[in-house]
Amino acid sequence: MRVFRSLALVVALSLLAAGCARAQSTVVVETLSEELEGGSGGLSVTPDGRIFVADFGQMLNGTGTPGTRVYLVEADGSSRVFAEGFQGASGNELGPDGVLYQSNIGGSFISKVYPDGRIEQWVSEGIQGPVGIATHLSGDLLVANCGNNTIRRVAMDGTSTEFSASELLACPNGITVDDSGNVYIANFRDGNVVRIATDGAASVLATLPGGNNGHLVYHDEQLFVVARGAHQVYTVSLTGQVELIAGSGAQGLDDGPGADATFSYPNDIGVSPDGRYLYVNDVADLSSTGVLLAPMVVRRIRIR
C-alpha cells in the first residue's frame, strides 16, 4: 500500500510539473509598436483592445520638457496621436463614462480627454505630482499623488478628498482596485506593493526586486505588477505570493519566451479584454539608466 501511495505521489508531482511547464511555455513576449516619440508614461486598454499610451516626457527628476501627447495604439501595432496639450502625461484610466482621465505630473492636475480628442482640465485640488489613476467600486476615481505620498479620491463632480496618507507610500506610482474594493499601490521609490483594505488599514503585500516599481493592474483574482528597476513583470496573488511572468532580468528589448525575453525599464501595464495579453511600455533607448524615458515602445506579453 505504501508503494502505491509513493507511486501516486510521484505521478501527481510529475503531472503538476508538466502543467507548470505548459503554463510557462505559453508566455511569449513580442514588440507590438514602432518606436513612439516621447517618454514612457501611463498605459490603459480600451474594451475593444486598443491601447492609450501617454508621453511622460524625455526625462525623470523634473529635467527635460514635460510630455504633451497621448498616443492610441491599435491591436495590430499601428499608432497615431490621439490628443495633445498635456503637461507631463503620466498615468491614465479609461472611465466608465468613456472618458480618458489623464494625470499631468508636470502641472499637478487631472485632465478629461473625450473620445474626439478634446481635452478639458478637470481637477487640481489636492493633486500633487499625480501618476496612477484607478476607478473605485463607488465610481469615484483614485489618484496616486507621487508628489506628497498620498492617494486622493475624486468624485465625478470633481470633488476631491483625501483617501490615504499612509507612511508606507513612497511615491505611489501604480494603483488598482480588486473586486472587493481593496486598493493596491506600486511604489516608485521602493519595491513594495501596498494594500489598503476597505477599512483603510495599509500593509505591505509584497516586495519585488529592483527597488523601483512601475504600475500594476488587477485582473482575474491577481495583480500583474511591473518591477521597473528589475526589467521584469510579475504576478502577485491577493495573499502576497510573487511569481515571475517574464523578463530575464537583463536590460534589453529581446522578444521570445517569457524567461528569455528582456525589458528596458518597463513602466505601465494593461490587460487585453479577453485576458490573453498584457501590454507594457518600454524605453527603447538601451543606454538609459532609468532617467531617460524616450523613445518608447509597446510590448505585448501572451500569457495564455
Cα–Cα distance for residue pair 72/52, rounded to 1 Å: 5
The pLDDT value recorded for residue 65 is: 86
Over residues 146-204, the pLDDT tens digits come to: 999 999 999 999 999 999 999 999 999 999 999 999 999 999 999 999 999 999 999 99
Q: What is the DSSP string of 122-137?
A: EE-TT--SEEEEEE-T
User: Mean per-residue pLDDT for 204-228?
Assistant: 98
Cα–Cα distance for residue pair 46/94, rounded to 1 Å: 7
User: Mean per-residue pLDDT for 228-238?
Assistant: 98
The pLDDT value recorded for residue 150 is: 98
> What is the b/e burial string over 197-209, where b = at least 16 CB atoms within 10 angstroms of the residue's CB?
eeeeebeebbbbb
Task: Give the amino acid at 3.
Answer: V
The pLDDT value recorded for residue 96 is: 87
Locate 155 and state its grid cell.
468624485
Q: Is 287 exposed, middle or buried (0-12, 13-18, 19+ CB in 10 A)?
A: exposed
Q: Identify the weakest region by mean pLDDT among 18-22, 25-29, 56-60, 216-220.
A: 18-22
Q: Which residues is 137 bridged to in the sheet?
A: none
Mean pLDDT, the chain, as a whole number? 92
**Cα angle 220-224-227, degrees, rounded to a multiple of 5:** 170
Torsional sign, CA 204, 210, 211, 215: negative
Cα–Cα distance for residue pair 36/39, rounded to 1 Å: 8
User: Mean per-residue pLDDT for 116-137?
Assistant: 97
User: Mean per-residue pLDDT for 247-267?
Assistant: 98
pLDDT band at 63 (very low <50, low <70, confident <90, very high): confident
Where do the domains of the chain lie, and which CATH numbers do they carry? 40-248 (2.130.10.10)
Overall size of the chain counted in residues: 304
Task: Give the amino acid at 141.
Answer: L
Task: Give the amino acid at 16.
Answer: L
Q: Which residues is 80 bridged to in the sheet?
A: 72
In the chain, the percentage of residues whose pLDDT exceeds 70 is 91
Q: Is 252 exposed, middle or buried (0-12, 13-18, 19+ CB in 10 A)?
A: middle
The model carries a pTM of 0.91
The pLDDT value recorded for residue 7 is: 37
The pLDDT value recorded for residue 25 is: 62
Locate 85 and state its grid cell.
496639450
Q: Identify the weakest region by mean pLDDT among 20-34, 180-194, 286-300.
A: 20-34
The residues near 265 (Cβ < 8 Å, ≥ 6 apart) are 40, 228, 229, 231, 251, 282, 283, 288, 290, 293
**Nearest Cα to Cα of residue 182 among 164, 200, 156, 157:** 200
DSSP one-letter code for 248: -
The pLDDT value recorded for residue 5 is: 40
- The sheet that has 202-207: what strands, in order across it? 172-177, 183-187, 192-196, 202-207
Cα–Cα distance for residue pair 242/259, rounded to 1 Å: 15
User: Mean per-residue pLDDT for 94-119?
Assistant: 96
